[in-house]
A and B are shown apart, each in its own frame.
Chain A
Amino acid sequence: MKTLSLKNLRKTYFDPYAGSQVTAVHDVSLDVEQGEFVSVVGPSGCGKTTILNMIAGFIPYTGDEILIDGNLVKGPGPDRGVVFQSFALFPWKTVLENVGFGPKMRGVPKDERDRTAREYLALAGLSHAADRYPNELSGGMQQRVGVVRALANNPAVLLMDEPFASVDAQTRMTLQEELTRIWQERKPTVIFITHDVAEAVFLANRVVVLSKGRVLDQIKVDLPRPRVWDHLIEDETFKRLSAQVLQMVRAA
Chain B
Amino acid sequence: MNIALRFWSGYVRTTHRWPIIATIVPFIPVVAIWSIVANSGMFPRAFFPAPVDVMRSFISLTYKGILPDYLQDSLIRLLFGATIGVALGIPLGILIGSSRLAHRICWPVLLFFQAIGDIAWLPILLIWFGFGLTTMTFVIVYTVLFPIVLSTVLGVQSVHRDLARAAQSLGASPMRVLWEVTLPGALPNIITGLRNGLGYGWRALIAVEIIVGTSGIGFMMFDARRAGSTVEILLGMIVLGTLWYIVDAWILAPIERATGQRWGLVTS
Contact = CB atoms under 8 A, between A and B. Distances in A.
Touch A–B, Cβ below 8 Å: yes
Interface of A: 14, 16-17, 19
A17 B5 contact: no
B4 to A, nearest CB: 11
Contacts, number: 15
A116 B235 CA distance: 63
Contacts of A16: 5, 8-9, 12-13
Q: Which 4 A-B pairs have the closest CB atoms?
A: A16-B12, A16-B9, A19-B9, A16-B8
B16 interface: yes
Interface of B: 5-6, 8-10, 12-13, 16
Mostly, the A contact residues are loop
Contacts of B8: 16
Contacts of B5: 14, 16
Contacts of A19: 6, 9-10, 13
Contacts of B12: 16-17
B18 to A, nearest CB: 14
Contacts of B6: 19
9 contacts: A14-B5, A14-B9, A16-B12, A16-B13, A17-B9, A17-B12, A17-B13, A19-B6, A19-B9
Given A14-B5, A16-B5, A19-B9, 12 more contacts: A14-B9, A16-B8, A16-B9, A16-B12, A16-B13, A17-B9, A17-B12, A17-B13, A17-B16, A19-B6, A19-B10, A19-B13
Nearest to B8: A16
Residue among B8, B9, B10 facing the most chain A CB atoms (10 A cut-off): B9
Contacts of B9: 14, 16-17, 19
A16 B7 CA distance: 9
A18 to B, nearest CB: 8
A5 to B, nearest CB: 30
A14 B1 CA distance: 12
A14 B9 CA distance: 9
B211 to A, nearest CB: 44
